Amino acid sequence: MTTRLVLASASPFRKALLENAGLSFDVEPAHIDERAVEAPLGDLNPEDVATILAEAKAQEVSERKPGAIVIGSDQTLSLDGTIHHKPANMDEARRRILALSGKTHELNSAIVLAKDGETIWRHMSVARMTMRDLDPAFVGRHLSNVGDRALFSVGAYQFEGEGIQLFERIEGDYFTIIGLPLLPLLAKLRELGAIDG
């Protein structure tokens, strides 16, 4: 295969998903201000916000990497229609988990492929995540165990680690939850001839 793939993300989780799938790719994080991109969007739905952010990342990197297919991705967490971002500190992480306790929230994971500054494909997957009713003391102990890793995700949990203990039920696939819907991405890359298939 001669098409170069570039992941426009600094996420170690997204990188690991692609590596585990056997893909050969470069990592080139996008240089965009996500909140500045999001600010003029008004009250768009959380799926559209994730797609617009993924597209901004893919296009920005693809302009710097001519000829490459760039994979941009973004994930929003929505609860009752309100979008939440990564917690800024441990106190905010605690408040986030307690706000999600006993409720169902959505993780909206977008992927956009871009080449030479142009979008060539968009995809959105949604996972519905139901947390069990959590005791505040347990939440404090949980956050003490996981430490700053709680600040790496919009939900203040690592589903692939101890965060699994927070949940009662999920509807959706693992890759969507981690933030990179892998099966549709691989299918599109095969269709484009970018990977063997």
Q: Which residues are catalytic?
A: 74
Helix (H, G, I), strand (E, B), or coil: what is residue 32? Answer: coil
C-alpha distances (whole Å) from 9 to each of 12, 89, 135, 182 are 8, 22, 35, 15
CB 181 within 8 A of CB 173: yes
Nearest-5° angle of CA 112, CA 121, CA 21?
Answer: 65
CA-nearest of 159, 71, 53 to 120 is 71
Q: For 114-141, what is the HEC assignment?
A: EECCEEEEEEEEEEEEEECCCCHHHHHH
The type of residue at 40 is P
